[in-house]
Amino acid sequence: MDKNAALWNLKKQLEKQNSVTLNLPNRFSFKEHDVFEFEEALGFFDWSLKDRQVKIDLSTCKSANYQTLSLLVLYQWHLKNQGCTASVILDNEEQGASAMWKTLGGLGTFPVLFNPNQTFVGRAFSSKPLIPLRGSDDFKKTINEIEKFSEEFNVKYTETLRYVVSELLYNTLEHGKKFGGSHLRNIRIPSIINFSWYESRRAIHILIGDIGVGIKSHIEQAYPGLENDIEAIQLAIKPQKSGTFGKADPYTDKNNAGMGLYISSNIIKRLNADMHIISGNGLLHISPRDITERTLKNSWLGTLVLVTLNLEDEPTFVLHSLMQEFRDLAKQEQSNADQAESDHKFYFSVEDYFGKYAEDKEAAIKFKEKYIFPAIQEEKLVVVDFNFVVSSPHSFLSALLASPIKRLGMSAYKKIKIINASPEIRETIDFIFDDNT
Ligand SMILES: Nc1ncnc2c1ncn2[C@@H]1O[C@H](COP(=O)(O)OP(=O)(O)O)[C@@H](O)[C@H]1O
Ligand SMILES: [Mg+2]
């Protein structure tokens, strides 16, 4: 008996030591007096907690907004994935974060995670629906939800919103998707979307969030060696830049690749709207006036996009003519960029010079002296195309690239670009890069 009681006490004590309560700040919002402010809210998230009992106390928060609160859903999924238990502490007040949490349907956080057909069940009628995104069915549900909302809007807005939101949904579904580890039996962790329709202000806020790899890691698959998250987001909104590029010619099977964020951000500039893209510790703010960037002290694990829009009664734009305009603009921008690039680029095909089996080490050394070093001298980008090359041994690749990489140091990652290499060749080259930088 005594022994059992002692054991029980010990267990309770261990649990207590292992548990941590995170108090939501008194204000938990992305807006401070009408100015966007992300730092404080993001500072709440501790991404490092593992194997702990985590309680999130919402009763300490008197003023929140729905977009920010929805992030607690993703955060709890993250905690669970890290081996934590996660729960919320609520109060019974009519206002404040606890009440809003119930309105959102936050109580369904774990049922939604573990059951692919479950949705968040908020208060009977909610103008702030929270929707999990796991695949094409959820995609359709989300688009339906927008249509339901926007019956009251001008049609022009409905079309435009549908366009922008679909692009953002595709992105989070394709590029931001996240699978849980062993604690979550490898299930897919949904992304989330929250619409808030502030009828009296005629404003719409839309948040789309994931805890995936983030924009930098994704787009680096095609554009390696980016400095930081901001540079990655800036690249992502340029026309025809996509993390899915890199293999063969992407345009043969996907003619709209890399245009989603370019067109969406241009639409935002034309509306009375703002778009904030947060990924890692990078923040890009697109508004009708300008595009500004900021490095955040506190980062978000994956990617968040917040679109805020004020509806006017007589919008002056027409979506389809806007789209044509943006496509033309993109073509122009791209051809300018191509021209500028060819002035600053030395491109060569390995197959042209060395054949399908690129192994002549002497020839590689001569080529390097004659072309690669001079190109580096002129500060050109060296693009090495391995298309059609079947194999290439380490000694050849090293003769061709090791000393140029060494001379460039870390900037070699930016100044030497390898394209269309088979996985083995790619791996060997990565090794040479590592060895010489
Ligand atoms: N939620 C996200 N998570 C990770 N990467 C993203 C996300 N959204 C966008 N990206 C990155 O930005 C790039 C550009 O996006 P976009 O302009 O829509 O083109 P596309 O989707 O056709 O590649 C993507 O290819 C991807 O690398
Ligand atoms: Mg896209």
pLDDT tens for each residue of 26-36: 999 998 878 89
Bridge-based pairing state of the strands 291-310 and 273-286:
antiparallel
Q: Are residue 84 and residue 106 in the same domain, yes or no?
A: yes
In this structure, the answer to whether residues 370 and 290 fall within a common structural domain is no
Burial pattern 403-418, b for ≥16 Cβ within 10 A else e, equals: bbbeebeeebeebbbb
Listed in sequence order, the residues at least 6 apart from 99 whose beta carbon sits closer than 8 Å to its beta carbon are: 93
> Do both 267 and 398 map to the same domain?
no
Q: According to the model, what pLDDT value does residue 307 have?
A: 96
Are 164 and 61 found together in one domain? yes
pLDDT at 248: 44
Nearest-angstrom CA–CA distance, 143 and 290 = 29
Q: Residue 294: what pLDDT?
A: 96
Question: Looking at 337, 366, 399, which one is the last position of a domain?
Answer: 337
Strand partners, 236: none
pLDDT at 249: 43
* Per-residue pLDDT at 250: 41
Residues 199 and 281 in one domain: yes
The pLDDT assigned to 251 comes to 42
Are residues 26 and 45 both part of a single domain? yes
- DSSP tag of 372: I
Quote the ligand 1 centre to 220 CA distance (angstroms). Answer: 11
Q: Same domain for 397 and 314?
A: no
Out of 321, 337, 353, a domain closes at: 337
Distance 233 CA to ligand 2 centre (A): 13
Residues 288 and 150 in one domain: yes
**Residue to probe by mutation, ligand 1, list 193, 215, 240, 284, most atoms within 8 Å of CB:** 215
Query: How many distinct structural domains can be found in the chain?
Result: 2
Low pLDDT (below 70) residues in the chain: 1, 124-126, 246-256
Nearest to 282 by CA among 270, 290, 273, 291: 291
pLDDT at 427: 93
- The answer to whether residues 43 and 138 belong to one domain is yes
Last residue of a domain, one of 320, 337, 354: 337
Ligand 1 atom at minimum distance from 176 CA: 3
The whole model's pTM is what? 0.78
Contacts by residues 155-164 (CB-CB < 8 Å, ≥ 24 positions apart): 156/315, 156/317, 156/318, 156/319, 157/309, 157/311, 157/315, 159/319, 160/267, 160/271, 160/317, 160/319, 161/204, 161/206, 161/309, 163/263, 163/264, 163/267, 163/319, 163/323, 164/264, 164/267, 164/268, 164/307
Domain of 242 in residue numbering reads as 2-337
* Residue to mutate (ligand 1; options 175, 237, 238, 276; most atoms within 8 A of CB): 175
Is 245 in the same domain as 175? yes
Q: Are residues 217 and 351 in the same domain?
A: no
Domain CATH number, residue 20: 3.30.565.10
CB of 173 within 8 A of CB of 133?
A: yes
pLDDT, position 253 = 44
Q: Return the residue whose CA atom lies nearest to atom 11 of ligand 1.
A: 215
Q: Which long-range contacts (CB under 8 A, 24 or more apart) does 425-433 make?
A: 425/386, 425/389, 425/391, 425/392, 425/397, 428/392, 428/393, 428/394, 428/397, 429/397, 429/401, 431/394, 432/394, 432/397, 432/398, 432/401, 432/402, 432/405, 433/405
Give 407's contacts (C-beta < 8 A, 6+ positions apart). Answer: 373, 376
Do the Cβ atoms of 63 and 29 come closer than 8 Å? yes
User: Closest residue (by CA) to atom 23 of ligand 1?
Assistant: 242
Whether residue 348 sits in one domain with residue 333: no
pLDDT at 144: 86
